[in-house]
Amino acid sequence: MIKLTINNQTYEVDASPEMPLLWAIRDMVGLTGTKFGCGMAQCGACTVHVDGNPVRSCSFPVSAAVGKKITTIEGLSERIGEAVKKAWIELQVPQCGYCQSGQIMSATALLKTKPKPTDADIDAAMQGNLCRCGTYQRIRSAIHRASELIQS
């Protein structure tokens, strides 16, 4: 049994240690907001926070998450996360929506370290998150908007 702390709750999962954290979160804990897109750290759909840092959970063994604080889209609740979600709704960012949990997790992590990101900061932080629907222009605007919301 492996013990995980996800969104401030403790779960015990019967997973082999090398199994990616993504499948423990989705299939064993049942939190499906975190998505599977590629399985090789190329798309960012599976992004969660581990001790506050954005991590591609498809390429992160569950054993490495033991003793750490995992946050998924469902548990994103502090001020910056709320501002990001608010901006995302205000600007109607999602199309199909499938990549958006990962986008929001990456954007929140960016704003935590850089509350006033430049376009170059956004390029650097968000490059790992693919969106096949092509919502990038709105993602950029929504990050700037969230930044404003945080300042106010």
Partner 1 sequence: MANQLTNIDRRNFLRLTGITGAGLVLGLSAHADGAATVENLAAAGESFELTPYVVIEKSGQITIFNTKPEIGQGTFQSIPALIAEELEVSLDKVVIQHTGGEKKFGGAQFSGGSASVRTSYTSLRKVGASAREMLITAAATQWNVPVSECYASDAKVFHKPSGKSLGYGELAEAAAKVEVPKEPRLKDPKDFTILGKSTPRPDVPLKVNGTAQFGIDVSVPGMVYASIERCPVLGSKLVSYDDSAAKKVKGVVAVEKCERIHGVYRSEGVAVIAETYWAALQGRKALKVTWDHQGNDKFNSKTYEQSLRDASKQEGAVEHSQGDFDKTFAEAPVKLEAFYETPIVSHSPIEPMNCVASWKDGSLEIWTSTQVPGRIMDEFTKTYDVAPEKLKIHVMFNGGGFGRRLYPDYVHEAVQLTKKIGRPVKSIWTREDDTRMGPFRPMTFSAMKGALSADGKAIAFQHKVISPTLDMRKDYDKTKADRTMTEGISEQKYEIANMKNLYVHHYLHLPLAAWRAVTSTTLAFSHECFIDEMAVKAKKDPMAFRLGMLTKESDTKNVLNKLKEVSNWDKPLPAGWGRGVAQYEFFAGLGGFVVEVSKKGTGIKIEKVYAVIDLGTVVNPDTVEAQVQGAAVMALTAAVKSGITFENGQTVQSNYHNNQLVRINEMPKVEVHILANGGPRIKGVGEPGLPPFAPALCNAIYAATGKRIRRLPFDINKIV
Look at phi and psi of residue 27 and say left if phi exceeds 0, alpha if psi is from -120 to 50, else beta.
alpha
Among residues 42 and 118, whose Cβ is nearest to ligand FES? 42
Please, what is the minimum distance in Å from the beta carbon of residue 75 to partner 1?
9
Please, what is the minimum distance in Å from the beta carbon of residue 99 to ligand FES?
3
Among residues 32 and 150, whose Cβ is nearest to ligand FES? 32
Among residues 17 and 97, whose Cβ is nearest to ligand FES? 97
**CA 103 to CA 134: how far, in whole Å?**
12
Task: Pick what 46 binds: partner 1, ligand FES, none; C-beta below 5 to 8 Å, kind-dependent.
Answer: ligand FES
The CA-atom distances, in angstroms, between 66 and each of 1, 5, 69, 70, 149 are 11, 8, 8, 9, 34
